[in-house]
Amino acid sequence: MPAAVQPERILKDLAKLWIDLAKPDTEKNASGVIRACAMTLIVGLEQREDTQEVGLTIAELIHEHPSRAIVLRVDPSDGGTLDARVFAQCWMPFGKRQQICCEEIEISTPVSRLADVPKLMLALTVPDLPVVLWARSPRLALDSEFQQLFTLATKIIIDSARFDDQEAAYRFVKSSNDAGRNVIDLAWTRLTPLRQLVAQAFENSGQVRRVVLSYSGTGARYLETWFRKAVPQAEVITTQENQVRVVLEGAAGSVSITLEDATSATVTMNDMSRRVALPERNEQSLLREELSIVGPDPIFRRILE
Amino acid sequence: MADNPFADPLRFERRAPACAIVIFGANGDLTKRKLMPALYRLAYERRIPPTFAVLGNSRTAMSDEDFRAKMRESVEKFLEDSPFDAGLWESFERNLFYIAGDLQDHAMYEKLSGRLDELQQSHQTGGNVLFYLSTQPSYYAPVVDCLGAVGLNHGDGWRRVIIEKPFGHDLTTARKLNDDIHKVFAENHVYRIDHYLGKETVQNILAFRFGNGIFEPLWNRRYINHVQITAGESIGVEGRGAYYQEAGALRDMIQNHLMQVMATIGMEPSAVFEADAVRDERAKFLRSIRPMKPADVGRYAVAGQYGAARIGTEDVPGFRQESGVDPNSQTDTYAAVTFFVDNWRWAGVPFYLRSGKRLPKRITDIAIFFNSAPHSVFADGTLQDVSRPNLLIIRIQPEEGISLRFLSKQPGSGMRLRPVSMDFNYGASFGERSPTAYETLLLDAMIGDPTLYTRQDMVEASWIAVQPILDAWASTKFGFPNYAAGTWGPQASDDMLARQGHHWRVP
């Protein structure tokens, strides 16, 4: 469904899309569809990024976070023209008779036309609902034209693990938050299950005297600062091991948490070990967690201070 | 985790502290179908610590290994909406233990005490113990008495007891049971479970009412005409004939589940969302229900019992033909009651509650009928449906959600109105899996949050409201069966509403 790239035209196409979907003219949608929307999700990508993978991620995310998804695909080679199309993502929940549908807008633009995009977006975000901007491409996140979109966003998500220069990513996250923007790094989100195990282990370790941790990437920096802020009296030692591991040494004993693989950890308290299942930490699950928290994360802010 | 420096309430799910759970009746249906799948799921979601311990008890002789094998079979069979992880089970089952013995044998409790001491050391439970009474109701008082006799009601950590419904058979037995329990456990350690209160949509009623500014001003006698609460089951007694014969629909559903739902709909907002503040308001509402005079029971309450019928291609037996049921049984498999609430908010507004077995479908919902517009400018005699009131439906099961019905102009020339529905579908807006009621309630009890548990005064207030009906029905010889399986109940139930100028909505 190609459309001239004017906000009014895109909105008309969206309205027509819903009228078409509401017609009970096929056996498939005989019971009509339910339109669901709880936010606007803007995704910033570069042309070379895996379209199918991102499409699948969005399709999965909207099941839990129904949204108007606007995928902005930027061609860094400056090829092509500014273009847009609209379509619906529908699914039939298990055992239900009605499909649930969310709308999606895909905008392609050469990098030279990126400056035209913010005004377009201004008209396309859903009124009265949060706007989450997922800057999947590191280059776009640091692009000043793309950053014009930040003013629209309630929350901005990046993943420092995708940046070649992780120090630059950290500086970007910190300076943006210092400037009052709500920017979150998925490297921090990745730590949630481990941090949760630590919180639980604390109940068995008692007052923490020493923390030994082995982790890598920007997450290591976040984790170390988190420990230093949470238990300022404790000595925090970082090591480089092959496995992700945290040891809490406290008044009541020692607890170690070792990640065995992506979905399990072993928790050892004194002499007793137990395997614990962990949620899979792929891009979808990280975003799912972030889309559940639209406001600022005070603990993340505190560790950036 | 209030004093935990690593706590992150924004991102971390609520978690139980280290503890042991003792299940009396561990070989029973409830343990297999609900409790163990709920505990497994809580472990799967890391809501309970890796070192928790479950100690099952029943009369059947079993080793820990036998018990684990049996529980695995149940969890694999009854786990809802989530996968079974064999690897996790291996770790989970190492926390399951079993002790055989008679519930009235003091020696068994001595052994139990010894096992709990061992678990406190080996599993670092901190001496915290949650006792779950999943036994026949007649054992509630003896079990609690024995726990007290061997000193298991106190220890190094907290001691709590969960009691399944029914809490008594009537007001007198409910009071006696409460007295017996209070000899051993203080009220704040007693968790009376009503699994309806653990359902997400029942909890959502509070969010809907008190989290939004637009509904509460309308939530009173000025704008609400009447309320209908329906809990229908399409199945019969399914092998529970002997139990059900002693209970009946009024005791089994209305006195507890539906009256708690009614209290959630009708209670005043609490100042804070804290256990006792919320429960105070629920209790106040239940105490405001007008007690029925014996002479009014025939007018405001209807008993029914289903007879045999053919539903689709299946011939289904009547209640009296079910296994274990007296062929002359006077048990109500259907009950409908009109309650009035004597307070400023609800004076004059009827609350109609009905519940039955072998109704056309399985459904639980609440319908709030608003008053019609005081004057209809469209009522010129040619237009249809102009008198239909606005209707708010809160669907509890099977599909959770909220619908608001209002009138809208039909497209085209002329002013023709048609009712339309504005729907909020839980599944569409929140795709994530909802915890089962037992997951929610077990976790709450371990954390020590009794908000969704019923308190002694709430239980007694609801018995006070239904006791006149029970008394009247006990001395009545009903002409049962009076409704055919697969229908919405007896004609008398429709007549009860018709006398108030209302009719049952077809859910």
Q: For A187-203, how does the pLDDT look when each residue is reduced to its tens digit (9 = 90+)?
A: 999 999 999 989 888 87
Predicted pLDDT at A3: 42
Is some CB atom of chain B closer than 8 A to the CB atom of A36?
A: yes
Enter the DSSP assignment of B341: B
Asked whether residue B91 carries a pLDDT value surpassing 90, the answer given is no
Is some CB atom of chain B closer than 8 A to the CB atom of A264?
A: yes
Of residues A204, A230, A277, nearest to B44 (C-beta): A277
Using an 8 Å Cβ cutoff, are B351 and B266 in contact?
Answer: yes
| Interface list for B 42-81 with A (CB within 8 A) | 44, 46, 49-51
A200 and B15 within 8 Å at the Cβ level: the answer is yes
Chain B: closest CA distance from residue A274 (Å): 6
Asked whether residue A28 carries a pLDDT value surpassing 60, the answer given is no
Across A228-242, B11-25, B140-154, B302-316, which has the greatest mean pLDDT?
B140-154
Report, as an integer, the average pLDDT of A142-157: 93
Query: Rounded CA gap, A182 and A176, in Å?
Result: 7
Of residues A36, A193, A195, nearest to B428 (C-beta): A36
Predicted pLDDT at A2: 40
B427 and A274 within 8 Å at the Cβ level: the answer is no
| Closest among B192, B181, B189 to B154, alpha carbons compared | B189
Chain B residues touching residue A38 (CB < 8 angstroms): 429
Per-residue exposure over B406-425, b if at least 16 CB sit within 10 Å of its own CB, e if not: ebeeeeeeeebbeeeeeebb
Chain B: closest CA distance from residue A44 (Å): 24
Of residues B91, B124, B429, nearest to A38 (C-beta): B429
Residue B289 CB: number of other CB atoms within 10 A? 23
The residue among B15, B45, B46, B395 with the most chain A CBs within 10 A of its CB, best to mutate, is B46
Query: Rounded CA gap, B309 and B330, in Å?
Result: 19
| Closest among A213, A267, A218 to A241, alpha carbons compared | A213
Residues A284-304: pLDDT tens digits? 999 999 998 888 999 999 999
Range with lowest mean pLDDT among B56-65, B302-311, B406-415:
B406-415
Predicted pLDDT at A122: 86
Is some CB atom of chain B closer than 8 A to the CB atom of A96?
A: yes
A197 and B91 within 8 Å at the Cβ level: the answer is no
The dihedral built from the CA positions of residue A51, A57, A61 and A62, taken in this order, carries a sign that is positive
Chain B: closest CA distance from residue A65 (Å): 7
Minimum CA–CA partner of B81 in chain A: A94
Of residues B51, B91, B431, nearest to A64 (C-beta): B431
Query: Rounded CA gap, A289 and A267, in Å?
Result: 24
Would you place residue B378 in the very low, low, confident or very high pLDDT band (cuts 50, 70, 90)? confident
Using an 8 Å Cβ cutoff, are A47 and A105 in contact?
Answer: no
Of residues B5, B10, B427, nearest to A231 (C-beta): B5
Report, as an integer, the average pLDDT of B470-492: 95
Query: Rounded CA gap, B213 and A80, in Å?
Result: 50
Is some CB atom of chain A closer than 8 A to the CB atom of B17?
A: yes
Using an 8 Å Cβ cutoff, are B334 and B231 in contact?
Answer: no
Would you place residue B426 in the very low, low, confident or very high pLDDT band (cuts 50, 70, 90)? low
Across A211-225, B46-60, B343-357, which has the greatest mean pLDDT?
B343-357
A274 and B51 within 8 Å at the Cβ level: the answer is yes
Minimum CA–CA partner of A35 in chain B: B428
Asked whether residue A29 carries a pLDDT value surpassing 70, the answer given is no
Predicted pLDDT at B428: 57
| Global confidence as pTM | 0.81
Residues B429-452: pLDDT tens digits? 665 667 889 999 999 999 999 999
Q: Which of B257, B375, B502, B503 is catalytic?
A: B257
Is some CB atom of chain B closer than 8 A to the CB atom of A63?
A: yes
Predicted pLDDT at A188: 96
Q: How many CA atoms lie within 13 A of B41 on its CB side?
A: 26
Predicted pLDDT at B414: 75
| Residue B137 preceded by cis peptide, ω within 30 | no
B399 and A66 within 8 Å at the Cβ level: the answer is no
Residues A265-287: pLDDT tens digits? 998 887 778 888 888 889 999 99
Is some CB atom of chain A closer than 8 A to the CB atom of B90?
A: yes
What are the phi and psi torsion angles at B92 (to 5°)?
A: -60, -45
Using an 8 Å Cβ cutoff, are A265 and A278 in contact?
Answer: yes
Asked whether residue B427 carries a pLDDT value surpassing 70, the answer given is no
Task: Give percent above pLDDT 70 in chain A.
Answer: 93
Predicted pLDDT at A272: 78
Residues 6+ apart with CB under 8 A from B22: B54, B55, B56, B57, B112, B116, B129, B130, B131, B132
Predicted pLDDT at A1: 37
Asked whether residue B2 carries a pLDDT value surpassing 60, the answer given is no
Query: Rounded CA gap, B309 and B68, in Å?
Result: 43
Query: Rounded CA gap, B83 and B199, in Å?
Result: 21
Predicted pLDDT at B386: 53
Q: Which residue has the tokens 């343990």?
A: B31
| Closest among B278, B263, B204 to B451, alpha carbons compared | B278
Chain A: closest CA distance from residue B121 (Å): 11
Asked whether residue B288 carries a pLDDT value surpassing 90, the answer given is yes
A202 and B431 within 8 Å at the Cβ level: the answer is no
Angle subtended at Cα A229 by Cα A226 and Cα A234, rounded to the nearest 5 degrees: 100
Of residues B163 and A79, more confidently modeled:
B163
Rg (CA), chain B: 24
Chain B residues touching residue A195 (CB < 8 angstroms): 6, 8, 11-12
Chain A residues touching residue B17 (CB < 8 angstroms): 203
Asked whether residue A97 carries a pLDDT value surpassing 90, the answer given is no
Q: How many CA atoms lie within 13 A of B367 on its CB side?
A: 19
The residue among B11, B82, B124 with the most chain A CBs within 10 A of its CB, best to mutate, is B11
Q: Which residue has the tokens 């090591």?
A: A239
A96 and B423 within 8 Å at the Cβ level: the answer is no
**What is each CA distance from B299 to A101, B467, B490, B493, B500, in whole angstroms?**
48, 15, 14, 10, 10
The dihedral built from the CA positions of residue B7, B8, B11 and B16, taken in this order, carries a sign that is positive
Residue B375 CB: number of other CB atoms within 10 A? 6
Instruction: Report the run of H or E that residue B206 belongs to, with start and end.
Output: helix B200-210
Secondary-structure breakdown of chain B: helix, strand, coil percentages, each rounded to the nearest 5: 40, 20, 40
* B182 is an active site residue: no
Chain B: closest CA distance from residue A82 (Å): 33
A64 and B90 within 8 Å at the Cβ level: the answer is no
Is some CB atom of chain B closer than 8 A to the CB atom of A198?
A: yes
What are the phi and psi torsion angles at A193 (to 5°)?
A: -60, -40
Query: Rounded CA gap, B244 and B251, in Å?
Result: 10
Is some CB atom of chain B closer than 8 A to the CB atom of A204?
A: yes
| Closest among A5, A147, A182 to A85, alpha carbons compared | A5
The residue among A200, A233, A281, A292 with the most chain B CBs within 10 A of its CB, best to mutate, is A200
Pairs of residues, one from chain A and one from chain B, whose beta carbons lie less than 8 Å apart: 98
Secondary-structure breakdown of chain A: helix, strand, coil percentages, each rounded to the nearest 5: 40, 30, 30
DSSP assignment of B55-90, as one string?
EEEESS---HHHHHHHHHHHHHHH--SS---HHHHH
Chain B residues touching residue A275 (CB < 8 angstroms): 50, 87-88, 90-91
Query: Rounded CA gap, B75 and A257, in Å?
Result: 27
Helices (H), A30-165: 51-64, 117-124, 138-141
Minimum CA–CA partner of B93 in chain A: A274
Q: Which residues does residue A269 pair with via DSSP β-bridges, in sequence order?
A: A255, A272
Of residues B7, B18, B428, nearest to A100 (C-beta): B428
Of residues B18, B88, B432, nearest to A277 (C-beta): B88
Report, as an integer, the average pLDDT of B450-455: 93
Asked whether residue B222 carries a pLDDT value surpassing 90, the answer given is yes
Burial (Cβ within 10 Å: 0-12, 13-18, ≥19) of residue B212: exposed
Minimum CA–CA partner of A206 in chain B: B4
Would you place residue A90 in the very low, low, confident or very high pLDDT band (cuts 50, 70, 90)? confident
Of residues B5, B50, B431, nearest to A230 (C-beta): B5
Report, as an integer, the average pLDDT of B403-411: 81
B87 and A277 within 8 Å at the Cβ level: the answer is yes
Asked whether residue A234 carries a pLDDT value surpassing 60, the answer given is yes
Of residues A36, A93, A299, nearest to B8 (C-beta): A299
Is some CB atom of chain A closer than 8 A to the CB atom of B428?
A: yes
Asked whether residue A261 carries a pLDDT value surpassing 50, the answer given is yes
The complex's ipTM works out to: 0.85
Q: In the predicted model, what is the mean pLDDT of chain B?
A: 91
B6 and A298 within 8 Å at the Cβ level: the answer is no
Range with lowest mean pLDDT among B62-76, B378-392, B452-466:
B378-392
DSSP assignment of B242-270, as one string?
HHHHHH-HIIIIIIIIIHHHHHHHHPPPP
A200 and B10 within 8 Å at the Cβ level: the answer is no
| Interface list for B 106-135 with A (CB within 8 A) | 122-124
Query: Rounded CA gap, A55 and A69, in Å?
Result: 10
Asked whether residue B365 carries a pLDDT value surpassing 50, the answer given is yes
Chain B residues touching residue A200 (CB < 8 angstroms): 15, 46, 49
Task: Give percent above pLDDT 70 in chain B.
Answer: 96
Minimum CA–CA partner of B4 in chain A: A199
Minimum CA–CA partner of B90 in chain A: A275
Across A45-49, A141-145, B43-47, which has the greatest mean pLDDT?
A141-145
Chain A residues touching residue B362 (CB < 8 angstroms): none
